[in-house]
């Protein structure tokens, strides 16, 4: 049997664990990489050509290493026993019960994993926090792990993941930076080096940065808070643009050319979604409150509030301009994923839009190239009249309005003359991502309502 240089395990085969480990295995044939999960169906899907998540280019990366040095399994205990280094990439959602409900991170999956590791391990190991965790979690983890009576030592290292869904493969292959935080003790620094050595196989040394463990944990929460803050900032300005006839795209372009501001993350939209931004900011808010930093907590909480305001504003505009009633009107949602190039719908603004429209008794039709299965689950309990169509032309047929909720490029290139002809009149388009050619749509006959710029109306 081939002997590998390092035996790496990842617990949690989700959006982060699967792609990150596939990349490590593809880049480092000298390591054995195993990914385990309690979810048998997920593991089976990772072993097939229909991966459990949609991510451009991911199957190619998986295929390079699968069966060679990349393995997927449900035998978690065996995986733990066998490994030298264990990445933990389980979910850390917002707590829904007890103290901190709706804000704090729910660490039950993380803690169960830690206890699982203690129970199954038979030798010293490095434990890598890959999940996003509240600052100072490593301390609690160290305590749980090292409170064993087997004489086994665990060193906890923080290596938060900065990949973005939709571009995960490119982000992992060519990351802006990899961050590795550890204790600044001799065993801590030795563990840090082990993890640095993994990434050094393909990431330039200048992009591998190290820090103390608390800075690494906190940097992940802060990175997401800053990214979301930029979206909420431009979205708040979009509301002002609509009142003043300024154009938010022109404003974003003008300010983004200032090198101190930069052009990225300045697209006004129906709002941000995804499993991380909201939960990580609320977690940051909760931590600040725990330290008595109420002004700081309030500052960051407003980033989430503006996002909710933006989602509500979008759907209220729809109802208002459609003569204050959408009851029994067919409305097609173009896109349900929280962003293009993913099937992930967690916290997608489309969920809010659909539920609000259903509450107004509209007939909602959802179309999306990758997210229909998730959309069905998200709207399962919502009641009302919902249809799902893969084909956007079918979704729009007989509709009174289209609401663009995801910036899928295929929606830019549809035949909107054909769509217009098949719709009820007056036909409305609400472009929640500002991706369509509004002037052309207007000339085709649509009344067009973008975000942060003047509507083009035929009445
Ligand atoms: N999704 C992203 O874009 C992203 C980016 C950066 C960081 N993160 C962070 O990474 C972490 C994981 O996120 P995700 O999106 O991959 O979550 P996910 O829900 O897709 O995957 C988590 C997996 O962990 C498994 N799991 C839970 N408890 C387990 C246990 N005790 N033993 C074995 N497996 C267990 C679940 O079955 C699930 O498959 C979170 O902390 C998240 O905040 C996510």
Same fold, 6-203 and 306-449: yes
Structurally, at CATH architecture level, domain 306-449 sits in 3-Layer(aba) Sandwich (3.40)
CA of 86 to the centre of ligand 1 (A): 14
Contact (CB, 8 A) for 93 and 14: no
| Residue of the CA atom closest to atom 6 of ligand 1 | 161
- Average of per-residue pLDDT across 327-356: 97
Ligand 1 mutation target, pool 18, 89, 133, 216, most atoms within 8 A of CB:
89
pLDDT in tens, 29-57: 999 999 999 999 999 999 999 999 999 99
pLDDT in tens, 239-274: 999 999 999 999 999 999 999 999 999 999 999 999
What are the tokens at 57? 């280019």
Alpha carbon distance 250, 320 (integer Å)? 26
| Partners of 158 in beta bridges | 129, 181
| Residue of the CA atom closest to atom 4 of ligand 1 | 16
In the prediction, which pLDDT does 459 show?
A: 83
CA of 174 to the centre of ligand 1 (A): 22
Which residues have CB under 6 Å of ligand 1?
11-17, 37-39, 42, 76, 89-92, 109, 112-113, 131-132, 161, 163, 165, 275-276
Alpha carbon distance 417, 401 (integer Å)? 14
In the prediction, which pLDDT does 323 show?
A: 97
Query: Per-residue pLDDT for 2 more than 90?
Result: no
Alpha carbon distance 213, 184 (integer Å)? 8
Alpha carbon distance 150, 116 (integer Å)? 14
The angle, 0 to 180 degrees and rounded to 10, between the axes of the packed helices 248-256 and 213-244 is 140
CA of 296 to the centre of ligand 1 (A): 28
The rounded radius of gyration (Å) of the Cα atoms in the chain is: 24
Segments of 200-241 assigned E as strands = 208-212
Q: In what order do the strands lie in the sheet with 330-334?
A: 385-388, 363-367, 330-334, 401-404, 428-431, 447-449
Helix (H, G, I), strand (E, B) or coil at 391: coil
Sole residue written with tokens 């980033």: 303
Alpha carbon distance 69, 7 (integer Å)? 10
- Average of per-residue pLDDT across 132-142: 91
Alpha carbon distance 376, 374 (integer Å)? 5
Structurally, at CATH architecture level, domain 6-203 sits in 3-Layer(aba) Sandwich (3.40)
Query: Per-residue pLDDT for 109 more than 90?
Result: yes
- Average of per-residue pLDDT across 346-371: 98
Q: What is the mean pLDDT of the chain?
A: 97
In the prediction, which pLDDT does 215 show?
A: 97
In the prediction, which pLDDT does 1 show?
A: 57
What are the tokens at 174? 């060519």
Contact (CB, 8 A) for 107 and 88: no
Q: Would you kindly state where each structural domain of the chain is located, as residue ranges?
A: 6-203, 306-449
Give the active site residues: 276
- Whether residue 426 is preceded by a cis peptide bond, meaning omega within 30 degrees of 0, is yes
| Residue of the CA atom closest to atom 11 of ligand 1 | 131
- Residues of the chain above pLDDT 70, percent: 100
């Amino acid at each position: 049997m081939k002997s590998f240089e390092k035996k790496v395990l990842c617990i949690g085969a989700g959006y982060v664990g699967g792609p990150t480990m596939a990349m490590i295995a593809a880049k480092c044939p000298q390591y054995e990489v195993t990914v385990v999960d309690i979810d048998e169906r997920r593991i089976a899907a990772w072993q097939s050509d229909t991966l459990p998540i949609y991510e451009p280019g991911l199957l190619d990366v998986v295929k390079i290493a699968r069966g060679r040095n990349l393995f997927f399994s449900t035998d978690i205990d065996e995986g733990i026993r066998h490994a030298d280094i264990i990445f933990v990439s389980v979910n850390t959602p917002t707590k829904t019960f007890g103290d901190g409900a709706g804000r704090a991170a729910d660490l039950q999956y993380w803690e169960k994993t830690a206890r699982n590791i203690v129970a199954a391990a038979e030798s010293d190991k490095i434990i890598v926090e890959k999940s996003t965790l509240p600052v100072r979690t490593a301390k609690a983890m160290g305590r749980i792990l090292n409170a064993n009576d087997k004489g086994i030592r665990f060193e906890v290292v923080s290596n938060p993941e900065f990949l973005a869904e939709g571009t995960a493969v490119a982000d992992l292959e060519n990351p802006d930076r990899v961050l590795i935080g550890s204790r600044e003790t001799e065993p801590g620094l030795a563990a840090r080096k082990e993890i640095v050595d993994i990434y050094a196989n393909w990431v330039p040394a200048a992009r591998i940065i190290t820090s103390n463990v608390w800075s690494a944990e906190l940097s992940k929460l802060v990175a997401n808070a800053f990214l979301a803050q930029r979206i909420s900032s431009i979205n708040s300005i979009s509301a002002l643009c609509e009142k003043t006839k300024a154009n938010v795209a022109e404003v974003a372009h003008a300010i983004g050319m200032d090198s101190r501001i930069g052009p990225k993350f300045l697209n006004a939209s129906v709002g941000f979604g995804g499993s991380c931004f909201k939960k990580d900011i609320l977690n940051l808010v909760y931590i600040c409150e725990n330290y008595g930093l109420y002004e700081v907590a309030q500052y960051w909480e407003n980033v989430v509030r503006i996002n909710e305001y933006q989602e509500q504003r979008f759907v209220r505009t729809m109802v208002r301009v459609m003569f204050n009633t959408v009851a029994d009107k067919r409305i097609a949602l173009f896109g349900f994923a929280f962003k293009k190039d993913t099937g992930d719908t967690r916290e997608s603004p489309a969920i809010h839009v659909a539920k609000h429209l259903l509450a107004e008794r509209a007939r909602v039709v959802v179309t999306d190239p990758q997210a229909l299965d998730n959309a069905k689950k998200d709207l399962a309990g919502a009641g009302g009249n919902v249809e799902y169509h893969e084909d956007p032309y079918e979704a729009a047929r007989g509709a009174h309005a289209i609401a663009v909720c995801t910036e899928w490029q295929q929606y830019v290139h549809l035949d909107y003359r054909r769509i217009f002809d098949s719709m009820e009149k007056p036909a409305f388009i609400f472009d929640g991502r500002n991706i369509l050619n509004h002037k052309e749509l207007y000339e085709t006959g649509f009344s067009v309502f973008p975000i942060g710029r003047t509507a083009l109306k035929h009445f």
